[in-house]
Amino acid sequence: MKQKLDGALYPDEVAIAAAAFQAALTRLDGSTYADTHSVRRCLAEYISAHALMGELEVDALRDGALRYLQNGFMRPARREPFASPLYENRRSPVFP
């Protein structure tokens, strides 16, 4: 993988990234996550970052983005209470 020095994608590279994005959405079709803005943003960020690093194969970009989404985004996050002195001694009923 060769990183791009100019920080931009050429039109044919944008087409590859767009195809990978669409392929990832197609794989998620029917999932409750497929239509959320945050999922689309996560996929787009992964694909664009890796395309800028020189990864320009549709299948590799799609699969990597889906793995990234599965390993980080779709996993239920454990939420912590606000880190503030006002909430220091309180236990939240929502976030035990």
* Model pTM above 0.95: no
Tell me how far apart the alpha carbons of residues 79 and 64 are, in angstroms, rounded to a whole number.
Answer: 26
What is the pLDDT at residue 3? 59
Q: Which residue has the tokens 């299948």?
A: 59
Q: Of how many residues is the chain composed?
A: 96
Dihedral sign computed on CA atoms, order 33, 35, 41, 47: positive
Which of 51, 86, 79, 85 lies closest to 65, judged by CA? Answer: 51
What is the pLDDT at residue 95? 43
Q: Do 46 and 7 form a contact (C-beta atoms < 8 A)? A: no
First and final CA of the chain: distance in angstroms?
A: 45
What is the pLDDT at residue 55? 93
pLDDT mean values, one per 10 residues, the chain (96 residues)? 71 95 89 76 93 94 93 56 46 45
